[in-house]
Amino acid sequence: MAVAASVVVAVGTATGTLSALDGGRGFDEAGPAVTRSPSPVPLPAVPSAPVTTKASVSATPAPSPVRTRSPAAAPTRTERKQRSAPVTTLLYRHPDSQVLDWVRSHPDDPRAALIGSRIADRPAAVWFADHTPDTIAARVRAVTSGAAAQGRVPVLVAYAIPDRDCGGASQGGAPDLAAYDAWIDAFAQGLGSGEVVVVLEPDSIAQSDCLPAADRAARFASLARAGRILKAADPRARVYYDAGHSGWNPAAQQAALLREAGAASPDSSDGVFSNVSNFRTTSDEIAYDREVLDALGGPPGLGAVIDTSRNGNGAPPDGQWCDPAGRRIGRAPTLHTGEARIDAYLWVKLPGESDGCKGAPGTFTPSYAYELAR
């Protein structure tokens, strides 16, 4: 059943970048994986893909009813209270991604200029989706040190929780929670001392109902520990927990799960993330995330980050999650949203990496990227 979690399983790491439409303003500089949302009808089968360098695996959730919420008034734009510590204003664009590889190797393709300017040149998250305890610290450090050298903020996605995707196409991760805890310890060693945003385990909380109660409690304890370890290793790290999206669990239900996983504690959390690899509108996510944060409790400084990479036209009316037609890139990634309690708009999913319908799951598909960029 899952969110749409883009899974980049790479020996290096896979990254991506995006441009913004959907009323976006300019972008900060800063990928990718495939995820989906629950659907009221059985989801189509998605071919599985091997876990290889720069290959993503699409998550295929079991059918689940789409939760609808009554329309909410558009949130009032307010200037968010600034954090006490100084913040870097620009996001980091990692110099290695599937889309960059394609643009560099296809300079004469008539689509290359548009894909390059609106996708490849934009900052996006770097996914760490394979359980590689011996190399994870060095790989994380390569990204954070590259960002620090430019005075920019990297966005990292930790995606190695056991029973990932509840046996769907993105199944994988660490073999057990003890191994996962060790992986997180090594991940934390690569953070350095600069600002970094960590998107901690997409789907791990919103999709946890597939686990027996004891296993779910153990997962949540491990997630709470992960946040504490990451923030202790780098006090300037911002760690965000899985809130699903506005069409999934009701806000109060999601907040209760988040609380169990440590998301209300300032020792482990800076707030929540939503809409990863999904298509819900930014206004819907702002309203939903505020509801979640209100129900979550915790210190007033907790905020939310929203994946705006493919939500420029909102979610398709038929609930399709797999490379739906008519979508477009959303608001530009930025750490300055001008919205109360909304810390950032991020491109967590890399536009152009297929969910498994327009191309192999997690692989860059230029025709899809061009459609989104246009």
pLDDT in tens, the chain (374 residues): 343 333 333 323 233 333 233 333 344 543 333 333 333 323 222 222 222 222 233 333 333 333 333 333 333 333 333 343 444 579 999 999 999 999 999 999 999 999 999 999 999 999 999 999 999 999 999 999 999 999 999 999 999 999 988 876 677 899 999 999 999 999 999 999 999 999 999 999 999 999 999 999 999 999 999 999 999 999 999 999 999 999 999 999 999 999 999 999 999 999 999 999 999 999 999 999 999 999 999 999 999 999 999 999 999 999 888 999 999 999 999 999 999 999 999 999 999 998 888 888 788 999 999 999 99
pLDDT of residue 20: 32
pLDDT of residue 171: 77
How far, in Å, CA of 144 to CA of 182, rounded? Answer: 20
pLDDT of residue 169: 65
How far, in Å, CA of 259 to CA of 241, rounded? Answer: 10
Helix (H, G, I), strand (E, B), or coil: what is residue 227? helix
Out of 130, 203, 234, 284, the active site residue is 203
Strand-pair partners of 346: 307
pLDDT of residue 32: 34
Cα Rg of the chain, angstroms: 18
Active site residue 109: no
Burial of 350 (0-12, 13-18, 19+ CB in 10 A): buried
Active site residue 108: no
Q: Tell the residue number behind the tokens 């996510």, with chain if given.
A: 285
Residues ≥6 apart with Cβ < 8 Å to 86 = none
Burial 284-316 (b: 16+ CB within 10 A, else e): bbbbbbbbbbebbebeeebbbbbbbbbbbbbbe
Residues ≥6 apart with Cβ < 8 Å to 84 = none
- CA 302, 185, 28, 350 dihedral sign is negative
pLDDT of residue 359: 86
Active site residue 242: no
Name the nearest CA neighbour of 175 among 184, 185, 164, 165.
Answer: 164
Out of 165, 234, 270, 289, the active site residue is 165
pLDDT of residue 69: 33
